[in-house]
């Protein structure tokens, strides 16, 4: 049985259909890239899956459980099982790195323990292991705000890992990164997918990245799913058919601008 089933999913904001009758079946352990121009509905789709927003129509089920009907404790449990990585990292800059990672464990604690930031030795070992997988242990006691963008994103991935999720969603995780750090982040997500068998859905704005890292690609336009298939089938001709010549040029331009970005070098 498929891990994630999306049926007739729609989200309307007034007259705008951000997601329009989406239907997907995603198997456990897939690495799925979602591409589309700005406003295509990529971020809305991930936020619907995570239940950060509620759908207008349709359903989302995970291993037979209707996610759209969850409330209270069960909804919080789903959000823990469905880890979310954002473009802007969402770290607490004044806290050190390992504490930021441990924030991923807060949902396992009561209110007092969470407020006091009290974590067990086992949880601290778990956070250290997650940082080690992301090559970030040397920065464990450093304030998060002093890190580069790529380093902060890897801390955010480590934070997601300590949630012990069943699925990981990443919303444009490399959009603001230089090429070197973008590669490190995508390699980290691929390693997690391969070694943990974790289902990964990642929103991307560059074709080359989707083709290189994702076994399956979903292309969206104006809220609709226009392509869903192996990355090898997402040729320039297919992209041109979906988005037109201007859209193809925009995707290629995104790749070019990423490759020539003049950010200063940062530590690995």
Specify the CATH number for the domain of residue 173. Answer: 3.40.50.300
The answer to whether residue 268 sits within a structural domain is: no
Please report the pLDDT score of residue 264 as a whole number.
40
Helices (H), the chain: 42-50, 72-81, 97-102, 111-115, 121-133, 149-161, 179-196, 207-213, 236-259
Structure confidence by residue, pLDDT tens digits, 193-247: 999 999 999 999 888 899 999 999 999 999 999 999 999 999 989 999 998 888 7
The answer to whether residue 85 sits within a structural domain is: yes
Which residue, 17, 24, 15, 25, is CA-closest to 57? Answer: 17
Host domain of residue 181 = 4-259
Cβ contacts of residue 32 below 8 Å, gap of 6+? 26, 199, 200, 201, 202, 214, 215, 216, 217, 218
Q: Residue 199 belongs to what H/E stretch?
A: strand 199-204
Q: How many domains does the chain have?
A: 1
The answer to whether residue 53 sits within a structural domain is: yes
- The radius of gyration of the chain from alpha carbons, rounded to an integer in Å, stands at 19
The answer to whether residue 159 sits within a structural domain is: yes
The answer to whether residue 267 sits within a structural domain is: no
Chain-centroid distance of CA 70 in Å reads: 21
Structure confidence by residue, pLDDT tens digits, 6-39: 999 999 999 999 999 999 999 999 999 999 988 9
Please report the pLDDT score of residue 265 as a whole number.
38
The answer to whether residue 42 sits within a structural domain is: yes
What the block records as the tokens of 137 is 């242990």
Tell me the whole-structure pTM to 2 decimals: 0.88
């Amino acid at each position: 049985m498929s891990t994630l089933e999306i049926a007739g999913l729609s989200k309307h904001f007034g007259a705008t259909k951000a997601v329009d009758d989406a239907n997907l079946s995603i198997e456990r352990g897939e690495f799925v890239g979602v591409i589309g121009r700005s406003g295509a509905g990529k971020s809305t789709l991930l936020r619907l899956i995570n239940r950060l927003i509620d759908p207008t129509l349709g359903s989302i089920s995970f291993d037979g459980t209707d996610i759209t009907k969850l409330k209270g404790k069960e909804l919080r449990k789903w959000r823990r099982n469905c880890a979310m990585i954002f473009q802007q990292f969402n770290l607490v800059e004044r806290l050190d790195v390992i504490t930021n990672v441990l924030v991923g464990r807060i949902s396992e604690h009561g209110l007092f323990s969470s407020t006091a930031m009290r974590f067990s030795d086992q949880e601290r070992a778990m956070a250290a292991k997650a940082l080690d997988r992301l090559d970030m242990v040397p920065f464990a006691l450093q304030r998060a705000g002093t890190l580069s963008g790529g380093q902060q994103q890897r801390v955010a991935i480590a934070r997601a890992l300590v949630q012990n999720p069943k699925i990981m969603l990443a919303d444009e995780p490399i959009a603001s990164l230089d090429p070197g750090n973008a590669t490190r982040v995508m390699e980290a997500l691929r390693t997690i997918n391969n070694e943990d068998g974790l289902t990964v859905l990642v929103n991307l704005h560059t074709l080359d990245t989707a083709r290189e890292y994702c076994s399956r690609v979903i292309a969206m336009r104006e809220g609709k799913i226009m392509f869903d298939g192996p990355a090898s089938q997402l040729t320039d001709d297919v992209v041109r058919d979906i988005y037109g010549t201007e859209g193809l040029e925009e995707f290629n331009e995104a790749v070019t601008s990423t490759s020539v970005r003049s950010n200063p070098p940062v530590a690995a």
